[in-house]
Structure 1
Amino acid sequence: MTRPRLFSGPEPLAPKVPEITAMFWLIKIITTGMGEAMSDFLGQQSVPAAGAIGIFGIWFGLRLQFRATEYRAPVYWFCVWMVAIFGTMVSDGLRDGAGMSYSVATVIFSIVTAAVFVRWYRSEKTLSIHSIVTRRREVFYWSAVLATFALGTASGDWTAIQLKLGFFPSALLFGGIIIIPGLLWWRGKLNPIAAFWAAYIVTRPLGASFADWFGKPHDATGLGLGDGVASGLMLIVFFALVAWVTARKNDIQEPGEHWHLPHPHLPHGAGLRAQPAEG
């Protein structure tokens, strides 16, 4: 079977995702909020134009990412940014276009996200972000990222709007939830891979809730800055942080003694720097 052109290109020579540091989580949360605000702002200007930008953006971002043979901070985070915008549009489109409630959308995207993880694990026997060293694993990884973005958008709107918590209380709620997997991992009660993905999923509604709080009008429990202003402010911070990690290069995964070959059913020689046993 011919591989789709979007996923074509050389096999990775090293892990295609950054090392997980405090800076990773900070950029991720800002990117999720920025994607939420920008998607809303573009939709307010023109829905057809917003849709075209979202589709082209995610295509271009994934194309750049898949054609790279190793992790590059500007390429990776640009792709995350485009996935954030597109994932928000998918979730909002189901609600506005199909009239689907936030709660139903949350359930549907929860099932989709779980299905991606199940299929990924059955195929690769690992969900470790340190194992993204083959094209197939990279496809699974970005499928999971897109699913979690859509899930986070729906769940954040569900708590803030449908459950009437408001955006800031919703942000505080998810801020408390995201601490739980970290504490469980620290106490040795949760596998590091499970802890990572649990926290990763929550970053989306956390960042989106803060973005909506900044941008939405007062009668919608926001500060009333406007989605355009909120987008611009977060974009400045985003560019500054990505430039920082690009210059420092301290977010590049380094091979270690705990790395081993990928699952034996993969093609010989694929991912010779595969995943560590944990994380």
Structure 2
Amino acid sequence: MSSTTERSEAESLGRRLLNKVPEVTIWFWVIKILCTTVGESFADWVNTTLGVGLVNTSLIFTAVLAGALGWQLSTDRYAPVAYWLTVVVLSVTGTLYTDILTDSQGVPLAVSSAVFAGLLALVFGVWYARERTLSIHSIVTRPRELFYWLAVLVTFALGTAVGDWTLELTGWTPGTSVLLPLALIAVIVIGWRLGAGAVLSFWLAYVLTRPLGANLGDWLASPDTDGGLGLGTAATSLVFLAAILATVVHLTRSRSDVIEADRTERSPTANPARERIMLGYFALAAVAAVALLAWAHQQPHEVAAGEAEVSAPAPAASLAPGRATAAFPPAEVTKLRAITADTLAKVDAGDRAGATERVKDLETAWDDDQSTLEAEDAQTWHALDGQIDQVLQAVRAAHPERAAEDHALNALLASLG
């Protein structure tokens, strides 16, 4: 085969693979944010509401990811359904991998954020060393396509860790925490307009859409007592999956994000001096963001329940059956037992918002009766107080474990007689 023929076939293959990546339009960013929100809410819904468990959910979605990615790699051109299905599944899977490190392995969010940042830098480093470009508009070979999807997976995991770490550091509600990644994305867009490198700007914004979408999902799903809108993870997932489906249908029909096969990549003339100035601009923005987080961390705030408790709390003292009824007025014990039983029923029914709301009644009733009950029997009061604290931590956890909730609630019910 002549070199001319080989080059012609390579260019033909390049155009076909190029068409498997969408053009970066406003639709690209809209659907990317929708996908990241689904990644947060859908993972929580399957893991906690359905009671599947974190590890089992991760295994299921890893298998689903293998199928979706296999479909995407087997196509010979950009297909919106295959491409965005892969992004959605990657979003869910990246979230679950971060949650495993944090919730199951007890890895601090600061450590997991640093690990994923280093891993992303390694992926980009190897990708650039091999291909001499990180532009998504130059993905014209199979290795570049594989590098691209690996980078996307790591950005989802990194964005999840950084977003959760921000909440842990600041104590912000999910609604407030949306503002920081949104502001940083605006800063990046301004920098890109002023001459920052397009590739750098793209990947910075791509990483930041993950905490933006995740915090948006938390804000919509969290109960109003936690600063959210109270839609729940199931409703939030359904709304955003429907929005993704509608957007994909529109893109399939309009082909507005398809890179034409005969289009050659047109890169604007680079201005090295201006790009260096914009690097300084991005560095200043990063310093300002770190300073803001440090300031917020120093302010008095309540740590979001379940997010700072990386290690399991010490087991609370148990009580012999009937001890609480003997020590305290039966009417008070009956009231506490009824609230606890209601909370357990809502947990078992998958009513996350209802369980969180009902357990607030338990906290309020217990605090209101503290002065009276503690004076009657301090030892019994402290034992029950420890058990109630464990119930509050389990039910209000950012990523609740069904087994931990059931254990804490049933232990409290047993102690209440």
Q: Distance in 2 between matches of 1:79 and 1:257?
A: 25
Q: Distance in 1 between matches of 2:26 and 2:202?
A: 12
Match of 1:52 in 2: 59
For 2:220, the aligned partner's letter is F
Alignment CA distance shift 1:51-1:257 (3 Å)? closer
Match of 1:119 in 2: 126
Match of 1:232 in 2: 238
Q: Does 1:37 align with 2:41?
A: yes
Question: 1:258 touches 1:277 (CA, 8 Å); kept in 2?
Answer: no
| Cα deviation 1:150-198 (Å, max 9, x = unaligned) | 011111111123421221111111100111111111011x111111111
Question: 1:17 touches 1:130 (CA, 8 Å); kept in 2?
Answer: yes
Shift of 1:277: 4.0
Q: Distance in 2 between matches of 1:105 and 1:166?
A: 22
Match of 1:262 in 2: none
Q: Distance in 1 between matches of 2:169 and 2:198?
A: 33
Shift of 1:51: 2.3
Alignment of 1:175-186 (within 5 A): 175-186=182-193
Q: Distance in 2 between matches of 1:221 and 1:114?
A: 35
Aligned match for 2:255, one of 249, 264, 271: 249
Which structure has more RCO (C-alpha within 8 Å, separation ≥ 6)?
A: 1
Q: Distance in 1 between matches of 2:27 and 2:263?
A: 25
Shift of 1:216: 1.9
Identity across matched positions, percent: 38
Pick the structure with greater CA Rg: 2
Question: As a proportion of its length, which structure holds more helix?
Answer: 2
Q: Distance in 2 between matches of 1:228 and 1:60?
A: 24
Question: 1:58 touches 1:86 (CA, 8 Å); kept in 2?
Answer: yes
The runs of 5 or more residues in structure 1 that have no matched partner are: 1-10, 260-275
Q: Distance in 1 between matches of 2:152 and 2:99?
A: 17
Alignment of 1:108-147 (within 5 A): 108-147=115-154
| Cα deviation 1:13-56 (Å, max 9, x = unaligned) | 23121000001100000000011110111111211542232112
Aligned match for 2:78, one of 54, 71, 76: 71
Q: Distance in 2 between matches of 1:95 and 1:49?
A: 16
DSSP 3-state at the match of 1:14? helix
Report the number of matched residues.
252
The runs of 5 or more residues in structure 2 that have no matched partner are: 1-12, 271-417
| Cα-Cα RMSD | 1.7
Aligned match for 1:14, one of 4, 17, 29: 17
Q: Distance in 1 between matches of 2:235 and 2:263?
A: 47
Aligned match for 1:151, one of 158, 170, 173: 158
Q: Distance in 2 between matches of 1:236 and 1:258?
A: 34
Shift of 1:102: 1.8
